[in-house]
Structure 1
Amino acid sequence: MSASLFAIGTFSASGAPFPGLVVGDRVLELPGGTVRTLLDDWERTLPRLVELAGSATGWQPLEGLNVHAPVEPRQVFQSGANYRRHVIDLVVAHREPDDPRSEEQARADAAEMMDRRAAEDLPYVFTGLPSAITGPYDDVVLPSWAAKPDWELELAAVIGREAYQVSREDALDHVAGYTIANDLTAREAVFRRDMPEIGSDWLRSKNAPGFTPVGPYIVPAGFVDDPSDLRLTLSLNGEVKQDESSKDMIFDVARLVSYISGFARLLPGDLVLTGSPAGNGMHWGRLLRDGDVMESTITGLGTQRTRCVAEGAA
């Protein structure tokens, strides 16, 4: 994309939130409703944004504005077990106390499973609730019932053109841009102890209000050279916990979008979360607590910073 680098987001001052064009430390308020409205007509919106990014008037300082989640999606699709090293770490961390395998054997078994999944070409995707989304600088309330709240930094693709049964080769044509998501998980609620045969319980484990901080902005896809070669870094209280390349993904963005579109209709503004790299709290033996501060960055997409607050103390 031949243009000044820009992003789009949702902001407010003292009034209602508005869509804004971000260039450096300046914001230009955009007419026409919401960021999702812009994404609904992305093919015509994008050239206009390129023009506006070079305009000289109407800008206001970014400093002092409230930054909200950049878009309110209709649907949220979440990819699980999509980073090789992350899944191996989780298999080891979630071993039952009576598991007879050594750590080395558990890692070898998980690695074999990852190889098999890649060969079978079957991503693992589930749906999340838009009500779990919060802004990139908002406090994250840790529910009183969540005994093991964990972080999961993820690259999120933002849909800009309806997609249904699209090929992998055409899938990225339906992506408007990318943003940052932290897909928090209550680890103790992932697996149903009362009936393990029914599998994972994503409703309880991932959809508490505010459990998915998103943003700060949406960076157009044309400014992201290769979504499969980005660095994801999350720090907890200043200490790096996740630091990985999206090269470690088993299924890339194009494959995920294509796969999801084979079963569901992706709509403009929808989010596709692409999985989390190694370095979660379960790996470190350190889960989230009241007062913790998470800072997350992805190459070219900015930084989000959120503070954890125990329910009742917010």
Structure 2
Amino acid sequence: MSEILGSLALGTFASGSRAFAGLVRGDRVLELDAHAAALGLTAPITTRDLLADWDRVLPLLEALDGPTIGLSDLRVLPPVRPRQILQSGANYRTHVIDLAVAHRGPDDSEEQVRAATAAMMDARIANGTPYLFIGLPSAIAGPHDDLVLPGYSDRHDWELELAAVIGAPAYRVDRDRALRHVAAYTIVNDITTRDLVFRRDMPEIGTDWYRSKNAPGFLPLGPWLVPAAHVPDPMNLRVTLTLNGDVMQDESTKDMIFDVAAVVAAASQITPLHPGDLVLTGSPAGNGMHHGRLLRDGDVMTGAITGLGTQRVRCVAESAA
């Protein structure tokens, strides 16, 4: 396990067929069902139960002590099962420029595209709002689960992201208050099938995020929920993804166009956000389209964000029917 910010993190684990929420300290896990009474909750406890009463529960979690289990003896599951996933696209300046260059027309020079895209983002920052869309909870997988690459395409790509985890319900909150509703942070790899992003049969419709992002396992999540109180500045974290040991993404969250607070506030304007919901904040530069190298059978992606742990996902080709 990589270092976590603060003294603890939360996760969900399996021992055999039994799943449970646990408190992570170092390489040891404290099973929380045994401490339900101390937490004022009823077993079995889920991380979503904790997030629903976060301000009261967090100091109690920090004070817990007792017998622990070695992390190596457990399977790490997705740390939370959200009701809703709100995703932010085109939210890192360098990434947006790289995508625009990759998709430029044959008559457009790279310099022209870079300049035009930079001007567009400056206008968005001044007058626009985050670009949001919906993800399916059924796409969530554990942080160490294999990713089955669907056989209908050979253009699957990675996008490592910081995700804000909602605690207190949020509905139409403004940016100044938005972070009060964030209980924790975690890591998500937003896998994308590039040739399904745009509908060739209906180009006027634009992007098709349902088909391109929601296959089973396309949202490896976790490993941990790190309390927001232990993350001094979510806008100063390093997002890093390696492919078979080679660095592909390595960028600071400082490169976001709209910061975490702005993205959470925008997500709350249309739909109420509930405890455990995820708000993804976009992915930095360095995806496969930029490198000209998309995912293949046997690839291993290792993703980390400062102090939030590490996920390791192996890619497996879909078996022929």
Per the TM superposition, whether the score is higher than 0.5 is yes
**1:81 and 2:90 are equivalent in the alignment:** yes
Alignment of 1:101-112 (within 5 A): 101-112=108-119
Kindly indicate whether residue 241 of structure 2 is the aligned counterpart of residue 234 of structure 1. yes
* Partners of 2:154 and 2:295 within 8 A in 1: no
One of 287, 303, 306 as aligned partner of 2:313: 306
- Of residues 26-35 and 178-187 in structure 1, the stretch that sits farther from structure 2 once superposed is 26-35
The residue that corresponds to 1:147 in the other structure is 154
**Secondary structure, aligned partner of 1:257:** helix
Q: Which range moved further: 253-262 or 77-86?
A: 253-262
Contact 1:155/1:178 (<8 A) preserved: yes
CA distance in structure 2 between the partners assigned to 1:102 and 1:167 by the alignment: 40
Aligned twin of 2:8: 6
Residues of 2 paired with 1:188 and 1:255: CA distance? 30
Give yes or no for contact 2:165–2:185 (8 Å, CA) kept in 1: yes
Deviation at 1:313, TM superposition (A): 7.3
Distance across 1 between alignment mates of 2:200 and 2:104: 14
Q: Distance in 2 between matches of 1:58 and 1:173?
A: 33
User: Partner of 1:108: helix, strand, or coil?
Assistant: helix
Q: Deviations over 1:239-291 (max 9, x none)?
A: 00000000000011111111111111000000011000000000000000000
Amino acid at match of 2:195: E
User: How far is 1:300 from its partner?
Assistant: 0.5
Structure 1 residue corresponding to 2:77, chosen from 68, 72, 75: 68
- Deviation by residue 1:94-150 (Cα, 9 ceiling, x = unmatched): 124xx3111111111111111111111311000000000000000001000123100
TM-superposed deviation, 1:4: 6.0
> What is the CA–CA distance in structure 2 between the aligned matches of 1:4 and 1:126, rounded to whole Å?
32
Residue type of the alignment partner of 1:7: A
Matched, 1:46 2:58: yes
| AA matched with 1:273 | L
- Alpha-carbon distance change, 19 to 313 in structure 1, aligned in 2, over 3 angstroms: farther
Matched residue, 2:29: 27
| 1:17 partner SS | strand
The sequence identity of aligned pairs, in percent, is: 64
Q: Distance in 1 between matches of 2:235 and 2:208?
A: 29
TM-score, normalised to structure 1, is 0.95
* Equivalent position SS for 1:312: coil
TM-score, normalised via structure 2 length: 0.93
Determine the C-alpha separation between the residues in 2 that align with 1:309 and 1:155: 25
Tell me how far apart the structure 2 counterparts of residues 313 and 279 of structure 1 sit (CA, whole Å). 31
Q: Aligned-pair RMSD on alpha carbons?
A: 1.3
The answer to whether the aligner puts 1:186 opposite 2:188 as a matched pair is no
Deviation readout 1:138-171 (Å, 9 max, x if unpaired)? 0001000123100000000100110001111111
Where structure 1 has 5 or more consecutive residues not aligned to the other structure, the ranges are none
Equivalent position amino acid for 2:25 in 1: V
Deviations 1:178-220 (A, max 9, x none): 0000000000000111111111100000000000100000000
- Of residues 130, 134, 139 in structure 2, which corresponds to 1:132? 139
Match of 1:220 among 221, 227, 249: 227
For structure 2, the 5+ residue unaligned runs are: 34-42
The match for 2:37 is: none
Number of aligned residue pairs: 307
Counterpart of 2:94 in 1: which secondary structure?
helix
Q: Secondary structure at the match of 2:187?
A: strand
Query: Residue 94 of structure 1 aligns to which amino acid in structure 2?
Result: H
Q: Aligned partners of 1:260, 1:191: CA distance in 2, in Å?
A: 23
Counterparts of 2:10 and 2:164, CA distance in 1? 14
Q: Is the 8 A contact 1:4 1:50 kept in 2?
A: no
Whether contact under 8 Å (2:161, 2:190) holds in the other structure is yes
